Amino acid sequence: MRRLSQNMLALAASDRALDGIVKDVGRFFAAGIAMTLHATGGLTLPRLKQFCADTGLISPGRARAILLYLRFLRYVEPVPGTKRGGVYVPTLSMRNAWAALLRAGLDAVRVMEPGMAPMIPRLAEPGIVFDLCRIQSENGRLAKQNDMDNAFWRVFLNRHAGVQVLHALMQGAGDSGPYPPLGDVAFSLSKLARDFHVSRPHVARMLRAGEKEGLLALSGSNTLRFTDEGLRHLRLLLAARLWADIWAAVRLDGELAERETLRPTG
C-alpha cells in the first residue's frame, strides 16, 4: 500500500496531463472507461453515458464534460472522417498514460506477489493494456451507486485533488510502521496546495470536512490523526486498487497462456 501511494504521487508529479486525470475519481474512472469502451467495441458518447449509468461509477451527466476534457488533454481524438459525435479513439499519449497507471499498481502488487513482475514489461504492448482494461471493467459493472454514497467519497474522493491529498498525508507519517498510519501525521497546508496545484483554503476546507465527518482528528494547524472510520476507508481504497490490478493480471495471464496453447504450430 505504501508503494502504491509513492508510485501514484510520483506519476502525478512527472506529468501534468496524467495528473489531471487522477485529480478525482470521476476523471480517473472516466479515463479508464474510455479505454475500456475502445477495447470492447468503440468509444462513443452514447456508450460512455450508458456505461456510466450501468456501473454507477460516475453520473452519466458528466460523460460529455469528461469526454471534452480528455480531448483537451489530447488523450482521445475522433476517428478521421466520422461525423460530429461519432467514434473516438485513445491517442498514444492516453495509452502511455494508462499503461503508466497500470504499471504503478502492478509494481506495488509485486511487493507481495513477485510473480506479477513479468506482466509489467508487457504493458508496453497496447493490446495488453486494453486487455487489462477489459477485464477490470467487469468489476466496474458490479458497482452500486449507494456503495459510494458515503462521507469518505464526498469529502475526499470526489473533491479536486482529494485522493492525492490522502496519499500525501499517509506518506507524511514516514516509511516505517503500519500503513495507513495509525499515529499522528504531520502536514503543511501550503505544501499540499503547492504540490497539487490547488488553493490552501481548498485543502483546509477538505480537512475540516473530514474532521466533521469523523474521518480524522485535527491537532493544531499541522498535525492530524485518522480515526478508525477513516482508516477503514483508506484500507478499503488501497486494497481495492491492489486487488483489481492483481485480479486482472492473473486473469490475463491465464488468457495469454490459453491463447499460446491454441496457437497453430508448424
Task: Give the pLDDT score at 142.
Answer: 45
* pTM of the entire predicted model: 0.86
Task: Give the pLDDT score at 235.
Answer: 96
Domain boundaries, the chain: 2-144+241-262, 147-235
Tell me which fold the domain 147-235 belongs to.
Answer: Arc Repressor Mutant, subunit A (1.10.10)
Mean pLDDT by 10 residues, the chain (266 residues): 95 87 80 87 89 77 84 87 79 90 94 89 89 79 56 93 95 87 95 96 97 96 95 94 90 87 67
Task: Give the pLDDT score at 148.
Answer: 65
Task: Give the pLDDT score at 146.
Answer: 45
Residues 187-196: contacts with CB under 8 Å, at least 24 apart: 187/222, 187/223, 187/224, 188/222, 189/221, 189/222, 192/165, 192/168, 195/13, 195/164, 195/168, 196/12, 196/23, 196/161, 196/164, 196/165, 196/168
Select from 1.10.287, 3.30.70, 1.10.760, 1.10.10 the CATH code of 2-144+241-262. Answer: 1.10.10
